[in-house]
Amino acid sequence: MARIIDKILARRKEIQAERLSQAVLSEAANDSHHHENDNIHNDNHPPSIPYYYSFEYFPPKTEPGLDNLLTRIDRMSRRLDPLFVSITWGANGSTLSCTLALAGHAQRYACVDVLLHLSCTGMTREQIAEVLDMARKSGVHNILALRGDPPPGKKGWEFGDV
């Protein structure tokens, strides 16, 4: 699967090529009414880009909820073609296995790129490395690593906290 930024850039190129093609066709059709500045591209003001969208899913707490969500991810990805889906992460890694299962399913079977949220609160560097390795093995390459809220019982972060 592609990196999300690569997909955005590729879609922008497709849109620009389509607009250029339309401009050429329009210019040929209206050759007698052509105005000098109609189809000039100004590099300081790129043409407007259509909206990109994604879906965000939170791992459910029950087995029936998981079945429902897997079906929903498949259906929404196939019908609506989001740029990517993001799979969130429960506090202190409470949804680790479900998050990775959802991310792997979406990546492999729904054929949609995944942005995995990784909240690093309360995790050691070794645990973070292990989760990153599991994500890689699931085919997930887009990760949003967050420090997250301070662990329970702490009012704030201290220098060196993970």
Given the residues 56, 63, 130, 158, the one annotated as active site: 56
The rounded distance, in Å, linking the Cα atoms of 65 and 55 is 17
Tell me the backbone φ, ψ of residue 118, rounded to 5 degrees: -130, 105
Q: Which residues contact residue 8 at a Cβ distance below 8 angstroms, ignoring those fewer than 6 apart? A: 52, 83
Residue 147 · residue 134 · CB < 8 Å: no
Q: Which residues contact residue 96 at a Cβ distance below 8 angstroms, ignoring those fewer than 6 apart? A: 89, 90, 131
Phi-psi region of 92 (alpha: psi -120 to 50; beta: other; left: phi over 0): left
Q: Is 56 a catalytic site residue?
A: yes
Tokens linked to 17: 């090529």
Report, as residue numbers or ranges, the catalytic residues.
56
